[in-house]
Amino acid sequence: MTITIPSGTTEPFSSEDPPSLPPDSLLSNMLAPIIDDSLRVAIQNTILSELPTNAFNYRLKNAKVSEQSTILYYAVDTASIGKMVSPILNRYWNPEGIQTSSLFHIKHTFPSVEELNKLKLMKPCDSATIPKLSKLLPNAPRAYRNGIHRGVDFYIDWGTPIHAVADGIIIRADHNYNEVSPDFRQSLLNKTKKTGHTPSDIFEHILLGQSVYIDHGFNLLPGYRAVSIYAHLSHIDNTIQPGVTVKGGQLIGMSGNSGTEPATKGIRDGAHLHWELLLQNKGGESYLGQGLFYDDLFSLLNNIFSY
């Protein structure tokens, strides 16, 4: 962008706020590899909310003075925008994924789609189908906690029966779960801004709410220990206790919204089951769906829960 000021201009040059380049046009190249529309829009909105508002402004780069005129050259500083955007983009979209827990630092490859398609699980809630919206699936950004969604959100009525997806042994059952105050929950979310990710203690002990974890051993997927998580429950069945063996399809509790913001205010809004499957081997830990593109992920989940 150039501005030409003819020689002899006596009016003071009024420099209002420099114009901005529409951020979409600059970000579209960087976000192009993200095929899924809703995920791309979500990540773009997150990037725009984190960049300084003047990041896309034109700045004076050069000036050429001649007898006839003075020409001012303006440009948007794409290099510095790129430096700011990359870490945010990498946080939310990286084909290799990020480590889900600070306990595991080893970079490893995830199970292949072929391996994962051998998984056969029972549905955690009878009526629910696999959600189509990518924001309800693994890998979706969760800007409010500076993290990434590891599971599947099934939006179902409050009090819907929740079942184990396969045989296993209970390793966590929060029978005595108490909701924290809204302020305390928010203070923890504020800390995630500084850490740049969701610390595992905040995620597991506060944000998941009343939860059940089931250890499926190495039986579900050869070579991997599988652990399924059922979060935001409103009730856990009395028989579900750590160390107890459960069968696939067995009732473990009822859906709710524990651990969510409405729950801290005593409101029943936003009830859903957050379900996820952790996979662990010597290489570390990943979640089911980590690193997969939307199309593969959606068909994989439908295939896994097909019976």
Contact residues toward Zn ion (CB under 5 A) are: 151, 153, 274
For residues 296 and 280, give the distance between their C-alpha atoms in angstroms, rounded to a whole number.
21
Q: Least distance to Zn ion from the beta carbon of 259, Å? A: 10
Residue 124 tokens, joined:
């955690």
- Cα–Cα–Cα angle for 287, 284, 195, nearest 5°? 75
Q: Least distance to Zn ion from the beta carbon of 225, Å? A: 22
Cβ-based neighbour number of residue 233 at 10 Å:
27
For residues 188 and 199, give the distance between their C-alpha atoms in angstroms, rounded to a whole number.
10
Q: Least distance to Zn ion from the beta carbon of 212, Å? A: 15
Q: Least distance to Zn ion from the beta carbon of 154, Å? A: 9
Q: Least distance to Zn ion from the beta carbon of 22, Å? A: 33
Choose between 224 and 230: whose C-beta lies nearer to Zn ion.
Answer: 230
Q: Least distance to Zn ion from the beta carbon of 231, Å? A: 7
Choose between 56 and 275: whose C-beta lies nearer to Zn ion.
Answer: 275
Choose between 27 and 138: whose C-beta lies nearer to Zn ion.
Answer: 138
Choose between 197 and 274: whose C-beta lies nearer to Zn ion.
Answer: 274
Choose between 154 and 224: whose C-beta lies nearer to Zn ion.
Answer: 154
What residue type is assigned to position 256 of the chain? G
Choose between 55 and 229: whose C-beta lies nearer to Zn ion.
Answer: 229
Residue with smallest beta-carbon separation from Zn ion: 274
For residues 107 and 154, give the distance between their C-alpha atoms in angstroms, rounded to a whole number.
30
From the list 166, 40, 157, the residue with the least C-alpha distance to 93 is: 40
Q: Where are the beta strands (DSSP E) in 179-239?
A: 210-215, 225-236
Backbone phi and psi for residue 187, each to the nearest 5 degrees, phi listed first: -65, -35
What separation in angstroms does the CA of 66 have from each of 5, 10, 14, 69, 149?
10, 16, 20, 5, 58
Q: Least distance to Zn ion from the beta carbon of 19, Å? A: 40
Choose between 185 and 274: whose C-beta lies nearer to Zn ion.
Answer: 274
| Bridge partner residues of 251 (DSSP) | 163
- Cα–Cα–Cα angle for 118, 102, 97, nearest 5°? 45
